[in-house]
Amino acid sequence: MTSRKSSSHRFPSRPALVCLGAVLSVTLAVTAAGSAANAAPGDALFLGDASTFSVLAHTTVTNSGLATMLDRDLGVDAGLLTPGLTPLMVQGATHLSDALSISAQTDATTAANDLMAVPNYVYGAPDLTGHTFLAGSYSSATDLNYTGNIVLQGDEDDVFIFTAVGKIVVAGSTSMTFIGGAQQCNVFWRSGAETTIGTNSAFVGTVIAGTSVSVNTDATIDGRLIAQTGQVSLLNNVFTTTACAAGGDGDRGLSVAPAAPTVTPAPGGGGGGGGGGGNSTIPSTGGSLAATGVDVTKPALVSAFVALIGVVLLTGSTLRRARRSTP
């Protein structure tokens, strides 16, 4: 009769392995799904599936004029019509109420909430025009208006965020100047209501509007337009996407609220009485907009996963000791 030798090194029991495998699978899936939701503004994954779109609306996208051109995808997550847009006007793919357009709207909502949660300078003036903005977030408890030229100053990593609880209204023939290496791909606009972009404006940035987006004749867009609950209306608008260049110091300047923007020097120098653009007279109301929907689930899930792994391993060890002690 052959006797079976016992070994002091035994694998965990099958139930313990099954439990451990299930936990690992669920956690990896949640982590992968949450990667875009937890990326910071300026990261490649920040917009998630919404990053591939030039225009993404909830109900419909309308277009008037033959010169409109989208360099990326077109999407509607709760509708099937894009009147006035022909296939030749969309260089990317068109997604109408499919899995990608729905997922992109979900990612856009997460991004919008995260933009509102960044520490910000509360911008009390009625107009952004005529000022130089450093990296950071600038907010309004009502509307934001933009009627001329603004200057964004920073390096390649710096991110610029403009948020409004109400509307964002961009007048006609507006423009934006970048100095010091600041990049178009790192500009974000978030309005709680509609966003309007005026005629012949050279607009830069990603817009996430709580309701709708309207673009007037011949305005150009270097970025993307997203309407969360309404439509996007276009009129002879050309979209481009400026790629981000590598470089910078790795500091986006988003951990603390920025200081008040400075007065932009007039063209050709000038600027008497101190020169170089002194402090803006824009009043700060203090404080910041409350965070809305900041994703705090991922750290909690990781902690729970670590704790559960510990329980599984401890249970397996206890079972092995109990079996060895059984006659």
The number of angstroms, rounded, from the C-alpha of 285 to the middle of its chain's C-alpha atoms is: 25
Residues paired with residue 237 on neighbouring β-strands, in sequence order: none
* pLDDT band (50, 70, 90) for residue 154: very high
Give me the torsion for CA of 200, 201, 205, 210, rounded to 10°. -90
**What pLDDT is stored for residue 306 in this prediction?**
43
The Cβ of residue 262 has, within 10 Å, a number of other Cβ atoms equal to 18
Question: What's the pLDDT score for residue 323?
Answer: 63
CA distance 183 to 236: 25
Q: What is the pTM of this model?
A: 0.75
Q: What percent of the chain has pLDDT over 70?
A: 70
Separation between Cα atoms, residue 100 and residue 183, nearest integer Å? 27
Query: What is the model's pLDDT at position 2?
Result: 47
Query: Residues 24, 30, 35, CA angle at the centre, nearest 5°?
Result: 125
H-assigned helices in the chain? 14-34, 99-117, 297-325
Domain spans in the chain, listed from the N-terminal domain onward:
14-35+296-325, 48-263
Segment 18-65, tens digit of pLDDT: 444 444 343 333 333 344 545 899 998 999 999 999 999 999 999 999
Percent share of the chain, pLDDT over 90: 65
